[in-house]
Amino acid sequence: MPESLQRFVQGKVAELGLDQPDQYIEQLLEKEQRRRLEEYYMEECRKGLESGPSIPVTPDFWKNLVAKAERKCQERKRKVAQ
């Protein structure tokens, strides 16, 4: 790492009250990871909102969804057992 960056990192370590430069680097990486996840989730939400008309999600919706999933699982188990 260039000396100018080393000095910058050491300054940030002192400013933030950290013990080691790697703690500062770790914080930067975690912040970047959170930013990317947030960006991903926002994009997925946007896609969902643009995917078509919404439907009401009621207790019956969940009940039917669970029943459908259970039927599919049972069908797969039967196919595997054959």
Average pLDDT of the chain to the nearest whole number: 95
| Domain extent listing, the chain | 3-81
What's the gap between Cα 12 and its chain centre?
Answer: 28
Give me the pLDDT at residue 79, please.
87
d(CA 10, CA 21): 6
d(CA 29, CA 31): 5
Residue 81 has pLDDT above 90, yes or no: no
pLDDT tens readout for residues 26-64: 999 999 999 999 999 999 999 999 999 988 999 999 999
